[in-house]
Amino acid sequence: MRRRWLRTAIRVILWALAIAAAVLLSLVVLFLLLGRIPSSDERGMLTASIAAIAIAAGLVAVLGRRTGTAIRRITGGDRGAPADLARSFSSRMSRSVPLDELALQAAEGLRTTMRLRAAEIWLLTDGELRPWIGDPDIDRQPVPLGGMDPVTVVQAGLSGHGWLQVWMPQMLEDRDSYIRMAPMANAGELQGVVVVERPVEDRPFTTEEERVLVELARQVGVMVHNAKLDSALQASLDEVRRQADELQASRGRIVAASDQARRTIERNLHDGAQQHLVALAVQVKLAQTLLERDPAKAAEAFDGLGEAVQATLQELRDLAHGIYPPLLADKGLPGALESAARRAVVPVTVHAEELGRYAPEAEATVYFCVLEALQNAGKYAGEGATVEVGVKEDDHSLTFTVTDDGAGFDPATGAMGAGFTNMLDRLGALGGSLKVASEPGRGTRVTGTLPAARREGEA
């Protein structure tokens, strides 16, 4: 709005200056032809004349178009104006003008071209029509549709006093004028309505005006519908962006977790199996030395070797179990979970009898998530707590629950530990999900679900 006024002001000033300069130039030429300099009386008159001409030029610049329109109206030449309004609105829609500015232009355009008391645009929101934009501003309460189906308003098309009195009397409150209401719809879906009012002392609405009103309301309806689509699209984009960020972070954590796992395996190999093997090597060498130096002692050394070999084997077995439990590969989830339950520091009951065999990554995910939850229970559930583990197959998915009757925690305040993040990442990577329910003194229940189909030919 401000820009429009600024443009008008600049136009006025430029017009006035241009005309004044032209008049001044003409006078200079005239006096040069006459061959004399104007007297001081004449100069005063001429200055006043130039100023008057400049002001007149400014007025014409401001009022020229409106005067022309008024003259056309008086002479009956304005019949095309409302139709122009619909056409020009349609062309403006294709440019990137903000929605509410377009709507205001529509209302102002309607009011001006049809000489209305008011032009209002209402939007359908949560089952009621709410005032949106009007010329002048709408000062009215929302109108509930009540039991009426929005489609009824669309089907009614352009409605007047009679229809409104029956179906939407609130719209008529405090109005004593000609009134028309046109539905704003897109593909039969009501978006809102356009309401116009003309004083009764003026003329009634013409068919042409009604046709323009219906067309304009339809266009505003399309525009509102598109804007809604835009904002829905934006919301979807935001959601996709959020998911992408989460995926990125999760990938980072998976890489870090995998590096951490490598370091742990390297550490375990170095501190465990390798140390046993080194000690074994020393003992073998010692036994060889003793064979030469003291055969009696060599026999003792060989006895010790057997024990050392067994200890090394056990160390390797434990290590392998930590990397990928051999029982899981051989026997599947029931056997592996039973074995994990026996090693847990809290008493654990496992219910997983009905399971078959699934993709290795699905089985490993369930196994390690349950293990993580068991470790959490061991750390936090407290003295005397017991744990129940349940795994079941349901409609191409596996669901596990790990429930303890221990100390519990407040999920709202207690930060989710690294254990839960690991579970979320593992499940997330396979399109699964995790729920953790807990409250202080009421134990904790961890539930995870992931898609999993039985392996072909497996029980």
Q: Which residues here bind another protein, judged by CB under 8 A?
A: 270-271, 274-276, 278-283, 285-286, 289-290, 293-294, 297, 301, 304, 308, 311
Task: Compare residues 169 and 304 and give the one whose CB is closer to another protein.
Answer: 304
Beta carbons of 183 and 221 less than 8 angstroms apart: yes
Task: Compare residues 261 and 281 and give the one whose CB is closer to another protein.
Answer: 281
DSSP state letters, 254-267: HHHHHHHHHHHHHH
What CA–CA distance (Å, rounded) separates 211 from 213? 5
What CA–CA distance (Å, rounded) separates 22 from 30? 12
What CA–CA distance (Å, rounded) separates 280 from 342? 31
Task: Compare residues 258 and 289 and give the one whose CB is closer to another protein.
Answer: 289
| Minimum separation from the CB atom of position 331 to another protein (A) | 31
Residue 382 is classified by DSSP as -
| Minimum separation from the CB atom of position 300 to another protein (A) | 9
Task: Compare residues 218 and 276 and give the one whose CB is closer to another protein.
Answer: 276
| Minimum separation from the CB atom of position 308 to another protein (A) | 7
Task: Compare residues 141 and 288 and give the one whose CB is closer to another protein.
Answer: 288
Bridge partners, residue 403, by sequence: 388, 445
Task: Compare residues 7 and 285 and give the one whose CB is closer to another protein.
Answer: 285
Task: Compare residues 105 and 274 and give the one whose CB is closer to another protein.
Answer: 274
| Minimum separation from the CB atom of position 320 to another protein (A) | 18
| Minimum separation from the CB atom of position 414 to another protein (A) | 32
Residue whose C-alpha is closest to residue 125's, from 105, 108, 102, 142: 142
430 class by beta-carbon count within 10 Å (0-12 exposed, 13-18 middle, 19+ buried) = middle
Bridge partners, residue 199, by sequence: 177
From residue 17, give the alpha-carbon distance in Å to each of 12, 45, 52, 358. Answer: 9, 18, 12, 88
Please state, as a whole number, how many other Cβ atoms lie within 10 Å of the Cβ of residue 50.
17
The amino acid sitting at 185 is: A
Residue 408 is classified by DSSP as -
| Minimum separation from the CB atom of position 316 to another protein (A) | 13
* Count of CA atoms in the C-beta half-sphere (13 A) of 444: 25
What CA–CA distance (Å, rounded) separates 194 from 200? 19
What CA–CA distance (Å, rounded) separates 102 from 239? 29
| Minimum separation from the CB atom of position 271 to another protein (A) | 7
Helical spans, DSSP H, in 201-294: 207-268, 275-293
Token reading at 100: 């509410």
Task: Compare residues 88 and 275 and give the one whose CB is closer to another protein.
Answer: 275
Task: Compare residues 22 and 265 and give the one whose CB is closer to another protein.
Answer: 265
| Minimum separation from the CB atom of position 279 to another protein (A) | 4
| Minimum separation from the CB atom of position 291 to another protein (A) | 12
